[in-house]
Structure 1
C-alpha cells in the first residue's frame, strides 16, 4: 500500500514539473536584433522579477507541504 502511494506521489510530482516546464519555455524570448553588431535593445526588458516571485512562491508551497508530510519530533 505504501508503495502505491509513493508511486502515485512521484507521478504527481512528475506531472507538475512537466506542466511548469512548458510555461517557463513560453516566457522566454530572444531580444530583437536591430541590425547593429551590438544588438541594441529598444527598452523591452524581460521581467525577471516576476519569474523570481513565482519560483519563490512555489518553493514556499513545497516547503510547507514537505513539513506537513515529514513532521519531525522535537527533542
Structure 2
C-alpha cells in the first residue's frame, strides 16, 4: 500500500513538474494513463518487495529450525 501511495506522489511530481519542464511532448499526453502506469508500477514494486521479505523470513525460520534439529541430533550422540 505504501508503495502505491509513493508512486502516486512520484507521478504528480513527474507528470506535473518534471515533464512540463524537461519533456514538453510527454506533458501534452493524457495524464491519466501515465498516472495509472505509475500506480501499477508502485503496486508491482510493493508486491515484489513484500514477497521477497516474506520469503526471506520463511527461509530464516527454516534455517533456524534446521540448526536446532542439527544441535539436538549431535547432542544426543555419545561423546568420545
Whether the TM-score (by the shorter chain) exceeds 0.5 is no
Structure (1/2) with the larger helix percentage: 2
What TM-score do the two structures reach when normalised by structure 1? Answer: 0.39
What TM-score do the two structures reach when normalised by structure 2? Answer: 0.37
Q: Which has the larger radius of gyration?
A: 2
Q: Higher relative CO (CA 8 A, sep ≥ 6), structure 1 or 2?
A: 2
